[in-house]
Amino acid sequence: MSSPPPPPAATYAARLGARFQEVARIMESHFLSKQELTRLLSISVVAGEHMLLVGPPGTAKSAIVRTFAQLIDARYFEYLLTRFSEPNELFGPVDIRAFREGTYVRKTDAMLPEAEIVFLDEIFRSNSAILNSLLTVLNERRYFNGARVMKVPLLSMFGAANEVPNDDNLEAIFDRFLLRAISNNLESHQFQNLVEKGIASEIERMGGGFGVPKPIFTASEFVDLQRSFGQHLQFSDEFIAKYKGLIFQIRSEGISVSDRRVVKLLKLLSASALVDGRSEPNDGDFFVLKHIWNHTDQTELLGEIVSPVVDRFYREHPQLRRFSSGQATLDDLLGELKMIRQLLTSGEVLSDIQLFSQLKNLNEIRAALESMESREGEGDTAQRMVQEIDQLLESVFSSSKFA
């Protein structure tokens, strides 16, 4: 009996997107303001590429990767590297019995060479012996186990670090992470939500009720998707023209993007469309280009180049915006704005530090609101709140303290 024909590309993409929406919902229930990171993780595993998270300790880098991995029924390997880490900690111990017989091989059961999702924390602290093996795994999905060449079933590797390396010896491993994302501490207007969600999580954990989420995908589904990914690499002439313009603008600003990465990034743009439930990419998928920096100080410049294109697309097509960038809700911002307004208009004498802290908070809230102005159903309210902030700032700056 012949198997039924595969569904049309649009139908397949829509079904895939619906499941990724469930992934996003589960991740959002665990983490505050990490929606964009979740989307980037999803894009990486769809495209079969690797992603690096950079940020200070305590910004949920490990937790977000670990939880995301639990949503995929796959063999998972995780390790925290130090400069004292040895190859056997990642690739398995030497098989003593085989060694006595004159063969040098490692026992790789449940170790990195047999994993489908890998997370390496503090990856740049590893030594050259580990790095050399990792490069082969990342580049070719192969591991040399003595004289034997193993095919590695790796879907994606996620790395984490507190900072970007400046050692030339680490440049090769850094380059293999096509996506680079920053995980920072939350902004001040998200503090209340952070405390509430954090306390709830701690209570659940201490009560033994912190369960493992049920997988949404299987590893084999991503294997099949990656094998047939060529059919999704179809782009209109108009899309390629816009992509070319962005790449050359990025390069003109001194941000290096090799020809190899230019081609690979097209995979990420198509993967972004699939994660969003579409069979073809659109201008909204260019947000990926904000995460191709070589140094963290390039993030602002990439945002200035890419964000206007993405924002303009969503202003023209607000109904297509499915993933938020991790902003607080309007109610959250309204509550925070109310508290700041009461503090600044109460007549209470504030120190310079207190005053400038609240002014910084207002500017953060204003930036968050501006990103909502193009959203259907929220834009008018966000615009009114921006006007209120401007009036409040004008009132503060016209006071005697700034005269």
Asked whether residue 306 falls in the same domain as residue 339, the answer is no
Asked whether residue 201 falls in the same domain as residue 336, the answer is no
* Domain contains 236: yes
Domain count, the chain: 3
Asked whether residue 22 falls in the same domain as residue 167, the answer is yes
Distances (CA, A) of 259 to 51, 226, 251, 289: 19, 21, 11, 14
Asked whether residue 78 falls in the same domain as residue 129, the answer is yes
What's 43's domain CATH number?
A: 3.40.50.300
Domain stop point among 171, 206, 241:
206
Q: How does pLDDT run across 295-350, given as a tens digit for each residue?
A: 999 999 999 999 999 989 988 887 676 655 444 567 767 777 877 887 787 777 77
Asked whether residue 250 falls in the same domain as residue 306, the answer is yes
Asked whether residue 70 falls in the same domain as residue 195, the answer is yes
What is the per-residue DSSP string for 234-292?
---HHHHHHHHHHHHHHHHTT----HHHHHHHHHHHHHHHHHTT-SS--GGGGGGGGG-
The answer to whether residues 273 and 225 touch, using CB atoms and an 8 Å cutoff, is no
367-374: long-range pairs with CB below 8 Å, 24+: 368/187, 368/189, 368/327, 368/328, 368/333, 369/333, 371/311, 371/325, 371/327, 372/327, 372/330, 374/311, 374/314, 374/315, 374/318, 374/321
Asked whether residue 277 falls in the same domain as residue 397, the answer is no
- The packing angle between helices 299-316 and 237-252, to 10°, is 150
Q: How many helices (H) and strands (E) does the chain have?
A: 15, 9
- Give me the pLDDT at residue 2, please: 53
Kindly report the backbone phi and psi dihedral angles of residue 305, in degrees, each rounded to the nearest multiple of 5, phi listed first: -80, -45
> Per the structure block, which two tokens stand in for 244?
């070319």
Asked whether residue 85 falls in the same domain as residue 150, the answer is yes
* Domain contains 334: yes
* Domain contains 214: no
Q: How does pLDDT run across 20-46, given as a tens digit for each residue?
A: 989 998 998 888 778 899 999 999 999
Asked whether residue 166 falls in the same domain as residue 99, the answer is yes
- Give me the pLDDT at residue 325, please: 46
H or E element at residue 27: helix 9-30
Can you tell me which residue has the tokens 């902004």?
187
Domain membership of residue 253 as a residue range: 231-320
Asked whether residue 155 falls in the same domain as residue 290, the answer is no
Domain stop point among 320, 339, 373:
320
Asked whether residue 74 falls in the same domain as residue 115, the answer is yes
Asked whether residue 181 falls in the same domain as residue 40, the answer is yes
* Domain contains 215: no
Give the pLDDT of the chain (403 residues) as one tens digit per residue: 455 555 567 788 888 999 998 999 899 888 877 889 999 999 999 999 999 999 999 888 999 999 999 999 999 999 999 999 999 999 999 999 988 988 889 999 999 999 999 999 999 999 999 999 999 999 999 999 988 999 999 999 999 999 998 888 899 999 999 999 999 876 665 666 656 666 666 666 666 655 668 899 999 999 999 999 999 999 999 999 999 999 999 999 999 999 999 999 999 999 999 999 999 999 999 999 999 999 999 999 999 999 999 989 988 887 676 655 444 567 767 777 877 887 787 777 777 776 777 787 788 788 778 777 666 567 788 888 888 888 888 887 776 555 5
